[in-house]
Amino acid sequence: MMGFTIALAGNPNCGKTTLFNKLTGASQRVGNWPGVTIDRKTGKIRGMTDAELVDTPGIYSLSPYSPEEVVTRNFLLEGNPDAVINIVDATNIERNLFLTLQILDTGIPTVVALNMMDTIEKEGGSVDAKALSEKLGCPVIPISALKSEGLKELVEAAATAANECARPAAIKFGDDIESLISETESALADKVPEEKRRWYAVKLAEKDATVSEQFPEIAESLKEKSAAVEESYGDEMDSVISDARYEIIGGLVSGSVKRAEKDEKDGTLSDRIDRIVTHRIAGIPIFIGVLGAVFLGIIGFGDITGIGTYLTDWLNGYIEDPIGTSVEQWCADNNVSEPLTGLIMSAFIGGVGAVIGFLPQMLVLFLALCILEDIGYMARAAFVMDRVFRFFGLSGKSFIPILVGTGCGVPGIMATRTIESDRDRRITAMSVTFMPCGAKLPIIALIAGALFGNNGFVALFAYVLGIVVILMSGIILKKWRSLAGEPAPFIMELPPYHLPSVLNVIKGTLDRGWAFVKKAGTIILLASVFVWFLASYDPSFNYLGADATTDSILQTIGQAVCVIFQPLGWADHWELTVGTVTGLIAKENLVGTLGTLFSLDEVGDAGEEYWDILAAYLTPAAGMAFLVFNLLCAPCFAAIGAMHRELGTWKATGMAVAYQCCIAYMVASIIYVIGSLIWGTSAEISGIVIAILSVAALVYLLVAKDPFLIMDKIGKKEEAVAE
């Protein structure tokens, strides 16, 4: 066979991503599954130009309880892969084989990749792959994706299965269940392909809602016989078949799997660590401490310079000289016109260069987060935060999109698809961008350097504030009638701790960094050019000069809008207002805009000139208000687009954006007044009034049982009028 497709399927945290990266290397590409916002990855298997590997979302079952399960199920049934590599975590083999049995029912040639065998052996256990293969009726290949062990044998087995169309044998249930399935298969004889007939028959026997809707007459005809089986077992059919599967799994592992002899008191190394990091009381302070260590290491504290800040200072200095100096000299030597020179120096070197200058800090952050993810700690963080989130009306699953959102808000919003509850998914999509993403790190670093002596605690404050506002948002939005309800249950496998994969960490870091660079070279560049034009020309379109911003179009617009921010302490400087507005295009664009307006091509090695400008413009309290508003207000255009795909309508998206801006404004006004008291500076009277009203409004929204009753009544009246 020339050219075949292999699907990669498995539970979350089973090593699927590591295996995919090892098998495809740099040949992978990212797309979207049709009709949904879940990313898919495809790539050519190394050494096999005719073999394409498709990475499906990590799932626990082929039952449609979440969008991921629907996506994977639809691809297996309708995408026509030639074979499936089912990756199984050998350290949790029973739970993983539950999915394996369902994949075998699809009739697709299957190869089981028994991953983490090195961990099993290290703990003193073993798995007889040959015996397990004979029982399953398909190849079982022991591998260690992390150490690249057994991958050659795995690829060969998958290629053979695809080429020979080696359909796995069905694993039978008990006689009464099999009788029901057999009858159903007969009814499906002329409706589905023979190789997929058993899968559909099992799902109809389970009373799977989607398949029952697809074949309503068959589902109706099975009711009487299903009722007899349910009465015999004393349970619903889906539970009956699930129990039967686990009974089969018990037989599969019996004689094939040798358990490691555990110390019942101490357990494995992962168990001993988890007793500390997932402790009911100590778990959250430990998590905050880990984040604090990361940010202090990146940004620094007091006179101690963090590694991210050190590298950023070096890159900023390099952009200034020799790059900026050389480009400016080249323009002078070649008689480049003054407007074009101003465009190159202000928009390209100043605007884009100011953003790129923060790339080292972002790369170090991404590196730290990738390491924490790869060793298994972030899964524990989600587990720990579930207790907190559930108290505030959210599921711990909401923490997964928030973690993803620390890199970028767009995939963070898209990651809400992992949440089964539609209400929880919508609430999380509306709240996830309160968490600072990588694009907001330059803003945090800018304020920390200009007003707070480059103190890393500013970054820690920003991230803790993001979590606090998300929790507040959970309480508030759960009181909206259409979003009310109990949070979805949180189920997650905690993988054993292991050393991070150098390849995975480097690749994850570079992927996120490259996404940032691409944005700087496209959206931010265009925005910087636009801002330069508005800053360099007056309303009559007369050129004012490279460094002239007074009497410009931009000043006119900024001065007209900046009064809105009077209660936040920074209305006197229209440049900050303009930067905030252009930050809606892309958050890191705020720094680029200020770079254009402040001529950042003249910044020294440590950026002292830029910091002096902001220090002269802002009090510490106003600086914190400026930071908080820009962290919490509406996200970038790309994230708003992702939010629209999740919420479904532009009306709902507009309400979400307005909600985010209102929350940002209220919290920023409170921070401004509190900061003024702390640092002994005078606050605007309007700021004090707005802060008092904001506190009252937030307390009411958090405490009142039905704060949106009036708005709900208005909405119902509008619906009645429309009808």
User: How many CB atoms are located within 10 Å of the residue 280 CB?
Assistant: 8
Residue 570 lies in a domain: yes
Q: Same domain, yes or no, for 239 and 339? A: no
Residue 138 burial (C-beta neighbours within 10 Å; 0-12, 13-18, 19+): buried
Residue 149 lies in a domain: yes
User: How many CB atoms are located within 10 Å of the residue 538 CB?
Assistant: 16
pLDDT for res 66: 64
Range in 119-133, 465-479, 593-607 with the lowest mean pLDDT: 593-607
Find the mean pLDDT for residues 119-131: 83
Sign of CA dihedral 322, 327, 329, 330: positive
The answer to whether residues 45 and 123 touch, using CB atoms and an 8 Å cutoff, is no
**Residue finishing a domain among 164, 190, 221:** 164
Residue 195 lies in a domain: yes
Instruction: Decide: helix, strand or coil at residue 158.
Output: helix
Residue 573 lies in a domain: yes
**Residue finishing a domain among 208, 242, 258:** 258
Indicate left, alpha or beta for 541 from its phi (over 0: left) and psi (-120 to 50: alpha): left
- Answer yes or no: is pLDDT of 719 > 70: no
Split at pLDDT 50, 70, 90, the class of 585 is: low
Instruction: Decide: helix, strand or coil at residue 486.
Output: coil
pLDDT for res 723: 47
Q: For 310-368, how does the pLDDT look when each residue is reduced to its tens digit (9 = 90+)? A: 887 788 778 777 888 888 888 888 888 888 887 888 777 766 776 676 678 778 877 88
Q: Which domain holds residue 71?
A: 4-164
Residue 43 lies in a domain: yes
Distance CA 399, CA 330 (A): 51
Split at pLDDT 50, 70, 90, the class of 35 is: very low
pLDDT for res 407: 66
Range in 101-115, 541-555, 562-576 with the lowest mean pLDDT: 541-555
Q: Same domain, yes or no, for 350 and 473? A: yes
**Residue finishing a domain among 108, 139, 164:** 164
**DSSP 8-state assignment for residue 213:** H
pLDDT for res 690: 93
Q: Same domain, yes or no, for 382 and 476? A: yes
Q: What's the token pair of residue 64?
A: 């449609």
Split at pLDDT 50, 70, 90, the class of 614 is: confident
> Do the bridges between strand 110-115 and strand 140-142 make them parallel or antiparallel, or are there none, so unpaired?
parallel
Q: Same domain, yes or no, for 119 and 189? A: no
Range in 20-34, 61-75, 104-118, 383-397 with the lowest mean pLDDT: 20-34
Q: What are the residues facing 258 on neighbouring strands?
A: 126
Split at pLDDT 50, 70, 90, the class of 90 is: confident
Q: Same domain, yes or no, for 147 and 184? A: no
pLDDT for res 157: 92
Residue 627, amino acid: L
pLDDT for res 603: 38
Q: For 631-689, how does the pLDDT look when each residue is reduced to its tens digit (9 = 90+)? A: 999 887 777 877 887 787 888 888 999 999 999 999 999 999 999 999 988 888 988 99
pLDDT for res 303: 64
Q: What's the token pair of residue 657?
A: 């954006």
Give me the count of residues in the chain.
723
- Answer yes or no: is pLDDT of 85 > 90: yes
Split at pLDDT 50, 70, 90, the class of 718 is: very low
- Answer yes or no: is pLDDT of 78 > 60: yes
Q: For 488-542, how does the pLDDT look when each residue is reduced to its tens digit (9 = 90+)? A: 555 566 667 778 878 778 877 887 777 767 766 676 677 778 777 877 888 888 8
Q: Same domain, yes or no, for 547 and 443? A: yes
Residue 280 lies in a domain: no
Give, in degrees to the nearest 5, the angle at Cα 267 between 265 and 501.
160
Kindly compute the dihedral angle of the four CA atoms of residues 523, 527, 528, 531, in this order, to the nearest 10 degrees: 180
Q: What percent of the residues of the chain are helix, what percent strand, and what percent coil, each to the nearest 5?
A: 65, 5, 25
- Answer yes or no: is pLDDT of 262 > 70: no
Instruction: Decide: helix, strand or coil at residue 49.
Output: coil
Range in 546-550, 577-581, 705-709 with the lowest mean pLDDT: 546-550
**DSSP 8-state assignment for residue 32:** E
Range in 173-182, 241-250, 473-482, 608-617 with the lowest mean pLDDT: 608-617
Q: Same domain, yes or no, for 102 and 186? A: no
Residue 139 burial (C-beta neighbours within 10 Å; 0-12, 13-18, 19+): buried
CA 646 vs CA 96, 439, 479, 689: distances in Å: 30, 21, 20, 36
Q: Same domain, yes or no, for 368 and 517? A: yes
Q: Same domain, yes or no, for 620 and 499? A: yes
| Number of structural domains in the chain | 3
Give, in degrees to the nearest 5, the angle at Cα 316 between 570 and 545.
60
List the end-to-end C-alpha distance of the chain, in Å, as a whole number.
59
Contacts of 193 (CB under 8 A, 6+ apart): none
Q: Same domain, yes or no, for 297 and 373? A: yes
pLDDT for res 664: 94
Residue 264 lies in a domain: no
Nearest alpha-carbon partner for 609 in 618, 619, 599: 599
Residue 365 lies in a domain: yes
Find the mean pLDDT for residues 4-20: 85
pLDDT for res 170: 79
> Do the bridges between strand 110-115 and strand 126-127 make them parallel or antiparallel, or are there none, so unpaired?
unpaired
CATH assignment of the domain containing 128:
3.40.50.300
pLDDT for res 299: 65
Instruction: Decide: helix, strand or coil at residue 597.
Output: helix
Q: What are the residues facing 114 on neighbouring strands?
A: 88, 142
Instruction: Decide: helix, strand or coil at residue 173.
Output: coil
CATH assignment of the domain containing 248:
1.10.287.1770
Please list the alpha-helical segments (H only) found in 26-79. Answer: 67-78
Q: Same domain, yes or no, for 314 and 352? A: yes
Instruction: Decide: helix, strand or coil at residue 140.
Output: strand
Sign of CA dihedral 302, 598, 581, 696: positive
- Answer yes or no: is pLDDT of 545 > 50: yes
* Mean of all residue pLDDT scores within the chain: 80
Q: Same domain, yes or no, for 240 and 385? A: no
pLDDT for res 280: 78
Q: For 215-253, how does the pLDDT look when each residue is reduced to its tens digit (9 = 90+)? A: 988 888 888 888 888 888 888 888 888 889 889 998 888
Q: What's the token pair of residue 523?
A: 């959206």
- Answer yes or no: is pLDDT of 604 > 50: no
